[in-house]
Structure 1
Amino acid sequence: MSEPTGTADTLGPPVPVLSVSPVVLSAPDRAVDLRVRVSAPVTGSELPILLLSHGQGHSNHLSSLNGYAPLVDFWAAHGFVVIQPTHLSSTSLNLDSDAPDAPMHWRSRAEDMTRVLDRLDEVEAAVPQLLGRLDRDRVAVAGHSMGGHTASLLLGARLTDPHDGTEVDLAEPRIRAGVLLATTGGGGDALTGFVAENYPFLLTSDFSGMRTPALVVAGDKDASAHLTVRGPEWHADPYFLSPGPKSLLTLFGAEHGLGGISGYDVAETTDESPERVSAVQRLTWAYLRTELYPGDPAWREAREALASDPHPLGRVESR
């Protein structure tokens, strides 16, 4: 999409979206083949690519290629080709795995995204309506919760593999920007005892090398007491503990579901708010639009609109 489709306040009408799933990428080195959903506008060319990593949650299928429709539908209707893998940690797969990175499959998750980028020719061949329409130089990643952890690794965050003690660097240079939604924060004594014992890869999260531009989205009521003892501020760590350029969107009153981004009317959403979901849709779109198309005013205009609202849904800070 070589020309802007509109600013954050003048997006224009959404275009129809085509969605194809599953697109199956054979993976003999993986427990099961990699299955992805591809969603794209039916019109337009030179379309930017947005990889979306799902979280975990309580539902059986939101943590798969079938989740996050409120975001996917919006992003695709406004110009992105959204590719969603089903990671090995997905509840829908119900894998009994002894892999070193199980049960969250933190390493495999990031490798799924690199695999997709390596095999875009196969993705295009499986979705003929996309042939010749992708802009492979404009790639972004987004992730919610555990998916945010996955996205952060691709953006340059590191950790120490608890299995062998090596430093893990899974940064993907083809990714130019990211969005971390209710993501994981720092390790050490910030974690609950249960998390430290059962998910030790989170103990050594290091954001000091996460240099790729990113927008961190956090709810100021997202205590996530099952994960951290620090409360909502923990989810903002990737903003404060990484080098710039970064932006932080703090959503007022938002809990871990950020209003309901993981699916339409899902029971696990504790802070259901269509208005909040709309804000997440528009602000994330605007951020990525400007990062991938420098000079596009979408992000500046979105920030100004948020700041001038007499009853704002959140605030943005950048550095």
Structure 2
Amino acid sequence: MPTPAQQQTVAVKPIAVPFDERDVVLQVKVTAPRQGADLPVIVFSHGNAWSMDGYEPLVDRWAAAGFVVVQPTHLDSRRNGIGFDDPRFGSIWHVRITDLHAVLDHLPHVADEAGLAERVDLSRVALVGHSWGAQTVGALLGARVLDSAGQAGEDFSRTDVSAGVLVAATGTGDSLTPFAQEHLPFMRPDYSTMTIPALVIAGDEDQSQMSTRGPDWFLDAYDLSPAPKDLVVVPGGEHTLGGIAGEAVAETTDTDPGRVELVADAVSAYLLGALDVDTDAWAEFGDAATAGRLAAVWAKR
């Protein structure tokens, strides 16, 4: 798979996305290979407090592999300064979901603004998210948010999304810590309705401060969702999986550039297969990762 050193990429930002219901303009960054046509699209949802300017180690590698990557800045980005005491915070999980809907609804506009209208294939669209972004993506793949009584909320799924990838996705809400119960009560996904094909990526040393369970909490998106689903478990991986949000960022506790490349390439290979760009890519990745003991790869069909 090509790397950023082998294929040039270009980025355009900021691009404003029409969204009348938002008090802060929804902006995206678009990264793409400098050459190529019929390019599939990844819409990426960042983790808590990040923005369209994060996750460059992943995004550059995806673009080098032939994807157009669209990164919105969600309302919880630290640049917007919305803390737990802000009255808007309780609904940010819902705003995140509507952000992704708005981006998907306006992908032709985004592609045109980025100068890619003639090079992008809008029939091949996938969603990827990390951490809170993974729960956000899960909602568009069919997962629902349970209320305090255990009742499933609104269905936010999209029929125009072919596949998704959930990286370090929130587990079920039955083991939330008191802090999470108070400030993040929406962290209660129900994966039983997440029917769209997806890859789940988790680190086997990811211990969340939001759950009393261990790293197995991050396997719920795979274990509790219907087939078809695939799973990659990364040895030694913690919540940032080697530093996927950026080089030398403060929250990375398991710095490992090789692990970051593994995660990036897992996503690329899975989506190349899921979007019918390269139907051999995912099997080849799985064989190489297993043979090199780089990761454990599982599937249910």
Query: With structure 2 as the length reference, what TM-score do the two structures score?
Result: 0.93
Q: Secondary structure at the match of 2:190?
A: coil
- Kept in 2, the 8 Å contact 1:17–1:76? The answer is yes
Aligned to 2:87: 98
- Flag the 1:35–1:162 CA change in 2: closer, same or farther, 3 A: farther
Aligned to 1:3: none
Amino acid at match of 1:181: V
Structure 2 CA distance for aligned equivalents of residues 12 and 40 of structure 1: 11
Query: What does the per-residue CA deviation read over 1:46-93, in whole Å, with 9 as the maximum and x for residues that have no partner?
Result: 110100000015xxxxx0010000000000111100000000111111
1:115 is displaced (CA, Å) by 0.6
- Kept in 2, the 8 Å contact 1:89–1:104? The answer is no
Structure 1 CA distance for aligned equivalents of residues 211 and 229 of structure 2: 23
Structure 1 CA distance for aligned equivalents of residues 152 and 198 of structure 2: 26
1:301 is displaced (CA, Å) by 0.6
1:201 and 2:193 matched: no
Q: Secondary structure at the match of 1:169?
A: coil
Aligned to 1:131: 117
Structure 1 CA distance for aligned equivalents of residues 6 and 94 of structure 2: 35
1:154 and 2:127 matched: no
- Flag the 1:133–1:294 CA change in 2: closer, same or farther, 3 A: closer
Structure 2 CA distance for aligned equivalents of residues 236 and 276 of structure 1: 18
Aligned to 1:236: 219
Amino acid at match of 1:156: G
1:191 and 2:195 matched: no
Aligned to 1:292: 275
Amino acid at match of 1:48: P
- Flag the 1:13–1:181 CA change in 2: closer, same or farther, 3 A: same
Q: CA RMSD of the aligned region, Å?
A: 2.0
- Segments of 4+ in structure 1 off by > 4 A? 10-13
State how many pairs are aligned.
Answer: 297
Q: Runs of 5+ in structure 1 lacking a partner?
A: 1-7, 58-62
Q: Secondary structure at the match of 1:318?
A: strand
1:295 is displaced (CA, Å) by 6.2
Aligned to 1:43: 35
Q: Secondary structure at the match of 1:218?
A: strand
Q: Secondary structure at the match of 2:126?
A: strand
1:284 is displaced (CA, Å) by 1.3
1:241 is displaced (CA, Å) by 0.2
The equivalences for 1:1-319 within 5 A come to: 14-56=6-48, 63-95=50-82, 97-99=86-88, 102-103=89-90, 105-128=92-115, 130-160=116-146, 167-188=153-174, 190-203=175-188, 205-224=189-208, 226-293=209-276, 296-309=279-292, 312-319=293-300
Structure 1 CA distance for aligned equivalents of residues 211 and 96 of structure 2: 22
- Flag the 1:123–1:208 CA change in 2: closer, same or farther, 3 A: same
- Kept in 2, the 8 Å contact 1:177–1:212? The answer is yes
Query: What does the per-residue CA deviation read over 1:236-271, in whole Å, with 9 as the maximum and x for residues that have no partner?
Result: 100000001111111111110101000122121000
1:112 is displaced (CA, Å) by 0.8
- Kept in 1, the 8 Å contact 2:144–2:152? The answer is no
Structure 2 CA distance for aligned equivalents of residues 285 and 269 of structure 1: 22
- Flag the 1:77–1:294 CA change in 2: closer, same or farther, 3 A: closer
Amino acid at match of 2:169: T
